[in-house]
Structure 1
Amino acid sequence: MSEELKALEENGVWTIVTPPENSHVLHTIWVSKTKSDADGGIERFKARLVACGNEKLFGVDYGLTFASLMDLSTVKVILVLAMRWGVPARHGDIPNAYVKVDKEEHLEIYLAIPQGMDIPVNALKEFGVNDKSKLALRLKKSLYGLKQAGRLWSQLLHAKLEEAGFTRCGTDMCLFFLRQNGDVTVAGVYVDDLLVTASNPEMMEAFCKSMNILSVKELGEVRNFLGMRVILDNAENYTLDQPAAIEEMIT
């Protein structure tokens, strides 16, 4: 919890304020999660601060919410292209994706001080209060749990790809391609996961560098994507399976 709060504060997600009278203040909850790999093994434990989106009011603290997702058939197309070009597909993950984007300027969103967040006594005195419950967090950026969070992140990532010269595919809004000097780079997006291949290995490296602004975590050749195990057989064929999901269903 302390690491999550520290990361959010360092990203400038909020400022501590005295909320205006009669303002709509949302609560938050902590969601604990065990992240597993495709084989069912534990990768890491996570604690995420989530806004209670069920308390939000349309027109007050949220508006449009739609965000597109990459189709599974598109994942397979990218893997087929990787086989054809002989350039193994690579997987990238963007940590803390939702908090990298600013919230809508015309909306004011306040959160109650979350569990585990301490406010020093001298800070309380500066606000003229004796209890942290009288303070709130005024959001400057998006946060998990907000109804519009997925949409805001999707818009930012897609804009960054287009700034890098990519064109959105007409059949899948989460598939992008870049043509350059006879070569092609193809990138698929599923929320904060990227699946990328190219007809030239150098273009793959260029793509990774162009995405540094979003602090993409390079995970190397794809081995696990969206809960699927991805196996490259003899550098010629990809096999997809879900042993962990099957095991969970039968136990």
Structure 2
Amino acid sequence: MIPKETPPQQQQEEGSDQAEMERRSQAPGSPRRPPPSEEIEEETPPRRTKLLSDIYETCNFIMLEPENFETAVKHKVWVQAMEEEIKMIEKNNTWELTDRPKDKEVIGVKWIYKTKLNADGSIQHKARLVAKDILKLPEIHVEQPQGFIAKGLKKVLRLKKALYGLKQAPRAWYSRIDKYFIDRGFRRSLSEPTLYIRAQGNDTLIVSLYVDDLIYTGNNEKMIQDFKEDMMKTFEMSDLGLMHFFLGIEINQEKEGIFICQRKYTETLLKKFKMESCKTVTTPLVTGEKYQKEDGSQKVDGSMYRSLIGSLLYLTATRPDIMFATSLLSRFMQSPSQVHYAVAKEF
């Protein structure tokens, strides 16, 4: 999947056509930050907005992801998703049907069902076939998947390429995608092995790889379009349009720039640590207060405290104002007290 991110400089330089494209790509009802020149009328009533991620959760609630094959096979959308997965596996020449070996173990396979959100807000049903055991053997045989048994149980499938769930699968995928980029003139970043850059004169294309998701940006629209078409042709990936959500960060792309926040991530933290009804504070720490390793209060669960501090550290990506307080409290992760835990929950 290759969500596209438009750089701020390019957004500002492009004319009304680009602005219109961004408006069409914006999530329905997503928050928009007005430019300084706009005046907000006091009579305007407040409106509640929804991001695509909110709509996605609602759809997931209505149509739950099946936990097993027996449930999925009752629904046409999941049957079609499984057929597409088998078609893709066979197109990639991943396996071949063979006799069951007598001296080798045959690994079972299972279906995993997920729903994903398309750029237009529609739901995409994905079925993925994975190996049940994480093994690394020179030759691997797997059982035929449920619903697609070709010639009876006496036949099995000998893998010619890595299948999801196997220990060698991540390395096999990275080797393939890395070769793809290098063959097409990309340069791998020395500091970040999953970041690829291709420069042609004054034009630059940057691609960031996260497992099987790609984020790309550049200053030449034709260069971007050619790359997208080649990727979709080679790997049959789907284009998710302008990026609006990635790794817990919400992205709102406007003509005035790119704005990021972690609203959904923050709400999840509040639920996790049972703070839905907490009150807000103006500063993360009490001014002039000093904190010590041994403050006389009772010790608390260290794993829960470390989980909270780690979550807050990730939140500093969009909230640098809590960086000092979080860094200060991270000193006590080895032996936290009730005071430390209470202060951390006041952010």
| TM-score strictly above 0.5 | yes
How many residue pairs are counted as aligned between the two chains? 189
Report the 3-state secondary structure (helix = DSSP H, G, I; strand = E; otherwise coil) of the residue aligned with 1:219: coil
Superposed, 1:17-32 pairs within 5 Å as 17-32=98-113
Map of 1:109 onto structure 2: 140
List runs of 5+ in structure 2 lacking aligned partners: 1-78, 273-347
Map of 2:62 onto structure 1: none
Q: CA separation of 1:242/1:146 partners in 2, compared to 1, >3 Å: closer, same or farther?
A: farther
Report the 3-state secondary structure (helix = DSSP H, G, I; strand = E; otherwise coil) of the residue aligned with 1:8: helix
Question: 1:43 aligned to 2:123?
Answer: yes
4+ long deviations beyond 4 Å: none
User: Quick one: which amino acid aligns to residue 114 of structure 2?
Assistant: K
Aligned counterparts of 2:92 and 2:268: Cα–Cα separation in 1? 38
Structure with bigger helix share is: 2
Map of 1:214 onto structure 2: 235
Report which structure shows greater RCO (CA 8 Å, sep ≥6): 1
| Segment of structure 1 superposing worse, 231-240 or 29-38 | 29-38
Map of 1:191 onto structure 2: 211
Equivalent pair of 1:34/1:42 in contact (CA under 8 Å): no
User: Quick one: which amino acid aligns to residue 18 of structure 1?
Assistant: D
TM-score under structure 2 normalisation? 0.49
RMSD: 2.7
Q: Which of structures 1 and 2 has the bigger CA Rg? A: 2
Aligned counterparts of 1:239 and 1:163: Cα–Cα separation in 2? 34
User: Quick one: which amino acid aligns to residue 113 of structure 1?
Assistant: Q
Aligned counterparts of 1:139 and 1:35: Cα–Cα separation in 2? 28
Aligned counterparts of 2:116 and 2:236: Cα–Cα separation in 1? 20
> What are the superposed Cα offsets for residues 157-183 of structure 1, whole Å, 9 maximum, x if unpaired?
111011110000011000011111122
Map of 1:158 onto structure 2: 178
Q: 2:115 aligns with which of 14, 22, 34?
A: 34
Q: Give the deviation of 1:29 after TM superposition.
A: 1.5
User: Quick one: which amino acid aligns to residue 148 of structure 1?
Assistant: Q
Map of 1:229 onto structure 2: 250
What percentage of aligned pairs have identical amino acids?
32
Q: CA separation of 1:6/1:206 partners in 2, compared to 1, >3 Å: closer, same or farther?
A: closer
List runs of 5+ in structure 1 lacking aligned partners: 62-106, 125-131
Map of 2:261 onto structure 1: 240
User: Quick one: which amino acid aligns to residue 237 of structure 2?
Assistant: V
Equivalent pair of 2:197/2:207 in contact (CA under 8 Å): yes
User: Quick one: which amino acid aligns to residue 132 of structure 2?
Assistant: C
Report the 3-state secondary structure (helix = DSSP H, G, I; strand = E; otherwise coil) of the residue aligned with 1:218: coil
Aligned counterparts of 1:51 and 1:215: Cα–Cα separation in 2? 22
TM-score under structure 1 normalisation? 0.65
Structure with bigger strand share is: 1
> What are the superposed Cα offsets for residues 164-209 of structure 1, whole Å, 9 maximum, x if unpaired?
1000001100001111112211111111111111122232123224
